[in-house]
């Protein structure tokens, strides 16, 4: 499903988007979810699948447009060396031709509450994430609504060099 999409628009307000996670960050997130849900742990298979899915970032004709709230960068949901490595990875992705990353700064005026994270695949599907399920929305009204939500938040986001500065500020707070 993701590999078929030409363009993805995502809003992430809980953790770094799966499309940009390092293996260790993904591993910690998967382990936390499986423990919470008392689910069987096949963490390494899940991490490998997530890393494989990231290959789409390097394919011509594909585009990821991502908005992340700055609080995602500050959240210490992993041991300190894991978010440090994750934050080290992000600035290199900011300048890629196939990726557009916007950061919603903590002090930005937000026109709406953030709501749930979501990912829109082309103009055909929106996947909304919740703790217990993913909602797959494929009706035109829901897709149009989520695109308007994404566009509205994009107006409050910083991109390019300004996004790198936000990432660097958070990274400096962790130290070595």
Per the model's pLDDT, the better-predicted residue between 81 and 61 turns out to be 61
pLDDT at 176 exceeding the cut of 70? no
Task: Give the range among 30-44, 135-149, 158-172 with minimum mean pLDDT.
Answer: 30-44
What is the pLDDT averaged over residues 23-46? 81
What is the pLDDT averaged over residues 40-46? 80
CB of 101 within 8 A of CB of 66? yes
Read off the pTM.
0.89
pLDDT at 109 exceeding the cut of 80? yes
Q: Give the pLDDT confidence score for residue 43 in this predicted structure.
A: 82
CB of 125 within 8 A of CB of 1? yes
Each domain of the chain, given as residue ranges in start order, spans 7-18+57-174
Q: Does the domain made of 7-18+57-174 have the CATH classification 3.20.20?
A: no
Q: Give the pLDDT confidence score for residue 174 in this predicted structure.
A: 86
In terms of Cα–Cα distance, which of 107, 75, 101, 90 is closest to 173? Answer: 75
CB of 111 within 8 A of CB of 152? yes
What is the pLDDT averaged over residues 47-75? 92
What is the pLDDT averaged over residues 120-146? 92
Each residue's pLDDT tens digit, 129-140: 887 778 999 999
d(CA 94, CA 88): 11
pLDDT at 172 exceeding the cut of 70? yes
CB of 31 within 8 A of CB of 43? yes
């Amino acid at each position: 499903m993701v590999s078929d999409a030409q363009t993805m628009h995502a809003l992430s307000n809980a953790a770094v988007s799966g499309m940009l996670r390092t293996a260790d960050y993904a591993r910690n997130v998967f382990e936390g979810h499986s423990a919470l849900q008392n689910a069987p742990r096949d963490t390494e298979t899940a991490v490998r699948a997530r890393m494989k899915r990231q290959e789409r970032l390097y394919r011509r004709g594909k585009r990821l447009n991502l908005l992340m709230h700055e609080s995602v960068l500050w959240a210490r949901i992993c041991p300190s060396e894991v978010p440090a490595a994750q934050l080290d990875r992000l600035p290199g992705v900011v300048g890629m031709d196939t990726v557009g990353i916007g950061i919603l700064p903590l002090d930005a005026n937000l026109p709406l509450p953030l709501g749930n994270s979501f990912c829109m695949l082309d103009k055909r599907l929106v996947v909304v994430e919740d703790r217990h399920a993913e909602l797959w929305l494929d009706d035109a009204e829901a897709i149009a609504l989520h695109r308007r939500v994404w566009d509205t938040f994009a107006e409050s986001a910083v991109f390019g060099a300004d996004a790198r500065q936000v990432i660097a500020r958070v990274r400096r707070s962790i130290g070595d």
